[in-house]
């Protein structure tokens, strides 16, 4: 497979404490999506969340009471969205679980275990190492254990960064950090509003996009992954989204000879990442 004129990677991409607590596994019952915040930093209260947003603190998710409508909460929600946080409407039980108190004043927020990077940070890491970029893109991987495992493998195999979407995806929570064995603190992870737009940005930077799909055009072993590349792994269950798949340059499949027709998302990612690493001589 020829990587054309992108192989040379000619250019980079576009140029208050009283209401803060540490949630731990025994702090309350496991409750739906809130499970991924277990062990993560959480803040609550209108003034606390508002000041965090004004100060530019990175918030992973902001939970707004679904039982209460007020100009103050609407303002917080608008500011959170503008800052790039995911805004979720939550009931009383969930807000109490997240904040650890009944005095949450209609709002709580989770803070990521580590800061997010940018796509340029990831490409910059490749340049600093004098290597062709190897970027892992996760299309709505919602299980924090899967995301943590992917980040762990990517870091161990020498990839330069991971990209995840803001919506319908696990974030860099403490569960992800633990599952990654601390790799989240060493590997840049960017969180973007739109994966399709991120793929276009990577293409403009000279990368080829390889989408993992069970019905891919070529097998992994027939695919040249030595040039500047982004490997895209789909969500658990449905795989790559339609627009994401359409924006991949190549569709790659992992050969399967058993009766099971698919692999876990993190396992598929590991196979792809290590083959790319092997071809590049990283391992």
For residue range 41-88, list pLDDT tens digits in order: 788 889 888 888 887 878 888 999 998 889 999 999 999 999 988 899
| Per-residue pLDDT at 101 | 81
Fold of 17-111: 60s Ribosomal Protein L30; Chain: A; (3.30.1330)
- Give the residue among 159, 116, 184 at the shortest CA–CA distance from 272: 159
Provide the CATH number for the domain formed by 115-280 in this structure: 3.40.1280.10
pLDDT of residue 55: 79
Distance separating alpha carbons of residues 186 and 114, to the nearest angstrom: 10
**Mean pLDDT of successive 10-residue stretches along the chain, which has 283 residues:** 41 34 32 40 84 84 91 94 91 86 88 88 96 96 93 96 91 84 91 95 97 90 95 86 93 89 89 96 78
CA nearest neighbour of 35 among 83, 80, 94, 91: 94
SS3 label, residue 115: coil
Q: What is the pTM of this model?
A: 0.73
Burial 206-243 (b: 16+ CB within 10 A, else e): bbbbbbbbeebeeebeebbbebbbbbbbbbeeebbbee
Nearest to 28 by CA among 105, 84, 108: 108
Q: What is the pLDDT of residue 40?
A: 53
**pLDDT reported for residue 104:** 87
Q: What residue segments make up the domains of the chain, in order of their start? A: 17-111, 115-280
Selection from 50, 145, 44 nearest residue 98 by Cα: 44
């Amino acid at each position: 497979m020829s990587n054309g004129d992108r192989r040379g990677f000619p250019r980079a991409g576009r140029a208050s404490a009283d209401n803060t607590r540490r949630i731990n596994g025994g702090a309350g019952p496991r409750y739906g999506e809130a499970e991924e915040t277990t062990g993560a930093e959480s803040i609550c209260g209108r003034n606390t969340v508002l000041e965090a947003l004004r100060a530019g603190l990175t918030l992973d998710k902001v939970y707004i009471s679904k039982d209460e409508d007020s100009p103050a909460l609407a303002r917080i929600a608008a500011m959170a969205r503008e800052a790039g946080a995911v805004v979720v409407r939550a009931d009383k039980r969930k807000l109490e679980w997240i904040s650890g108190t009944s005095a949450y004043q209609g709002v709580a927020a989770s803070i990521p275990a580590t800061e997010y990077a940018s796509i340029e940070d990831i490409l910059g890491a490749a340049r600093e190492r004098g290597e062709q970029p190897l970027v892992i893109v996760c299309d709505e991987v919602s299980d924090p254990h899967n995301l943590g495992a992917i980040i762990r493998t990517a870091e161990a195999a020498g990839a330069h960064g991971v990209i995840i979407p803001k919506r319908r995806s696990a974030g860099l929570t403490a569960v992800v950090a633990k599952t990654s064995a601390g790799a989240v603190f060493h590997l840049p992870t960017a969180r973007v509003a739109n994966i399709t737009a991120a793929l276009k940005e990577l293409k403009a930077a000279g990368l080829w996009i390889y989408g993992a799909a069970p019905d891919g055009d070529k097998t992994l072993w027939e695919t040249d992954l030595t040039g500047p590349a982004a490997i895209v792994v789909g969500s658990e269950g449905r795989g790559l989204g339609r627009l994401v798949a359409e924006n991949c340059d190549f569709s790659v499949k992992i050969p399967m000879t058993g009766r099971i027709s698919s692999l876990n998302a993190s396992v598929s990612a590991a196979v792809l990442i290590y083959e790319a690493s092997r071809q590049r001589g990283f391992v």
